[in-house]
Structure 1
């Protein structure tokens, strides 16, 4: 009896130890799989445009709904202006639909920075640089209209008088093409009070200039052999000093191009001076003016940077150069974004140098913010 009792006690103790050890094992396993506390989770920080390029005190931001967002430090708008990250860089995204509310008297939407100061070409020593890639241009438009499928990615704009533009830097790509064109425009500062005769002169950088259009509504010219693809980086430098504008364009795998243009002495003061390109493109629609002898002398000018969509929904019968007849879905932005009817431009780097002689540009915004 004594032996059997001892055996029973031993069996009981062994079973108890086994249960205790097994319980400890289960407890340890549960501890290891417990979800981390909220305190242990990393909170994802918003990367603002001003974190990517810290120069926003020099600009006011115009959005694709026509509103002025002001100085856009620590600001984003998911419809028009935000940041994105690719494999190695943060970028600022500027996005503008084909149709919607516009800023000032323009027919076109823009998400664009406008300089808070203006400077005068004759005494200027001012510079703008940028590295960017165009990610989308409108999916629709009339191929015979020169502005279809295009976006302006940098400008010099006059704040005074006619508010014309001595510089617009374009990117344009036809549907079905892999490569698009980069070109720049000079717009005359029209003599007299009537600005309806103003016109642009276009110079090709890589690919074609503005005047190369389709022969039919959906018939496209040949793809440029030396063009720039969507998503391909390129850079521009714009310097205005002592009345002269100097432009420099660079892109890996492409020839570097430079141009100069006098902004204070016109070369277009008589009808005989109108270039052949303009005679073919603008004169037939009544844009046949001449320029003031002093060009942009005495007018405050300022830089712009972003996505100024050149494709709109207006009928080509209104103006065969600037009215694209593109899809706008009645101004519904999300529908336009869903089927590719917008412009989108990403900027990786940019800089601005402003001369001491520059003055406030507030008058320009006062005139145009409520139009």
Structure 2
């Protein structure tokens, strides 16, 4: 046989073998890549905890919408009440709570809410809470004549002492069929004397109407506010208490920034003649006609609260036409309430807290038997 033919055949065989081996190697690479890709798709994403979105949870105790106390909520989530979502731009903390279910303490209302674990005193305070949020849902049902229907409280100052009243509650309220809702804030008097059942709130509008704007019939709401806030529309609040004065600031793009001040250590409601007209119409007819102690909240330990405190409940308006909404609760079945819109849901994007040196530890204050309104 010709030597050239033999060499050429040998070379052909070597080249062919190299090509085959190379092809096998590439196929193996493809197989490995596919396997890795499939593994990546099947991996469970690590949850983003609320304490990663707003890293101040060492300062708060969390109450859930079923009445349970979750305590310090670092690296914690609850699929029904407290978790995070991403809207494509930002992570948000979701606070969600039904109209009806197990409530905390003596309250008629459910909440998924943070309570500050340190209390401070208004007279010596230098304390501040800020938050940016959007309300995503308020109850679909409720008597339109009841002031608390279709409302949720998204921030508070609460007293930890004596009557345990509330010098501040920040509300969002929107009636069914309306595009825009109202943001307003309340001051609750710190009642003089032992009978706290006569206490009342005074409501100030921020954007839209105040608490006193109600419907003429159970299913007939008042007119929609022109300068209101829609569901899903961001707004921010700043609460600052210093040397006995509470300063409030409300900010939302496209809306006028609003500011307010209130003295927390010197009352303006010490006689029946001081009771405002709004209160005369809303609270006095149902027997809430008290007056406030002269030094208001001076000497009382106070603390901040933040979250979704649902103001719509299933109790009959005959009990209290301001606070008992007669809303649908499905006998306390949470999932049924969530399915047909009978719940409150609030998303928080940012929040900060500044606590003065005079604040004292309040750890252990919040237990299942505590009276928290």
User: Which TM-score applies when normalising by structure 1?
Assistant: 0.92
- In structure 2, the CA distance between the partners of 1:332 and 1:130, relative to structure 1 (3 Å rule), is same
- In structure 2, the CA distance between the partners of 1:159 and 1:368, relative to structure 1 (3 Å rule), is farther
The 2-side partners of 1:29 and 1:367 are apart by: 63
Per the TM alignment, residue 221 of structure 1 is displaced from its structure 2 partner at its CA by 1.1
Give the corresponding residue for 1:298. 299
- In structure 2, the CA distance between the partners of 1:20 and 1:241, relative to structure 1 (3 Å rule), is closer
The 2-side partners of 1:286 and 1:77 are apart by: 40
Alignment of 1:147-166 (within 5 A): 147-166=148-167
CA deviation digits over 1:85-144, x for unaligned, max 9? Answer: 012100111001000111111100000000000011111110000000000000000000
Give the corresponding residue for 1:50. 51
The 1-side partners of 2:294 and 2:229 are apart by: 36
CA deviation digits over 1:291-347, x for unaligned, max 9? Answer: 111111111000000000000000000000000000101111111111110000000
Residue 60 (structure 1) aligned with residue 61 (structure 2): yes
Secondary structure of the 2:222 match is: coil
Q: Runs of 4+ in structure 1 displaced over 6 angstroms? A: 17-24
RMSD (CA atoms)? 2.5
Secondary structure of the 1:36 match is: helix
Per the TM alignment, residue 362 of structure 1 is displaced from its structure 2 partner at its CA by 3.5
Which runs of 5 or more structure 2 residues have no equivalent in the other structure?
A: 2-11
Give the corresponding residue for 2:35. 36
Per the TM alignment, residue 368 of structure 1 is displaced from its structure 2 partner at its CA by 4.0
- Determine if contact 1:103/1:109 at 8 Å carries over to the other structure: yes
- Determine if contact 1:123/1:242 at 8 Å carries over to the other structure: yes
Which runs of 5 or more structure 1 residues have no equivalent in the other structure?
A: 3-13
The 1-side partners of 2:258 and 2:171 are apart by: 15
Give the corresponding residue for 1:89. 90
Per the TM alignment, residue 366 of structure 1 is displaced from its structure 2 partner at its CA by 4.4
CA deviation digits over 1:183-207, x for unaligned, max 9? Answer: 0000000110010100000000000
Per the TM alignment, residue 364 of structure 1 is displaced from its structure 2 partner at its CA by 3.5
Residue 334 (structure 1) aligned with residue 332 (structure 2): no
Per the TM alignment, residue 170 of structure 1 is displaced from its structure 2 partner at its CA by 0.1
Per the TM alignment, residue 21 of structure 1 is displaced from its structure 2 partner at its CA by 7.1
The 1-side partners of 2:365 and 2:286 are apart by: 29
Give the corresponding residue for 1:5. none
The 1-side partners of 2:98 and 2:255 are apart by: 30
The 1-side partners of 2:265 and 2:134 are apart by: 32
Per the TM alignment, residue 32 of structure 1 is displaced from its structure 2 partner at its CA by 2.2
- Determine if contact 2:159/2:300 at 8 Å carries over to the other structure: yes
The 2-side partners of 1:306 and 1:91 are apart by: 12
The 2-side partners of 1:329 and 1:22 are apart by: 70
The 1-side partners of 2:118 and 2:208 are apart by: 33
